[in-house]
Amino acid sequence: MTYENITPEEAKARMQSDPQAVIVDVRRPDEFACGHIPGALNVPLDDILNGRIPEPLENKNTPYLIYCRSGVRSVTAAQALVRAGYTRIANFGGILSWPYEVER
Looking at the structure of the chain, the number of domains it has is 1
pTM, full prediction: 0.97
Position 58 in a domain:
yes
Spatial distance between the Cα atoms of 39 and 20, rounded to a whole number of angstroms? 12
The answer to whether position 20 is within a domain reads yes
Query: In this predicted structure, what is the pLDDT of residue 1?
Result: 75
- Residue 40, in any domain of the structure: yes
CA distances from 57 to 7, 9, 34, 61, 97 (A): 22, 23, 23, 10, 24
Average of per-residue pLDDT across 63-82: 98
Catalytic residues: 68
- What mean pLDDT is predicted for residues 58-87? 97
Q: Does a structural domain hold residue 103?
A: no
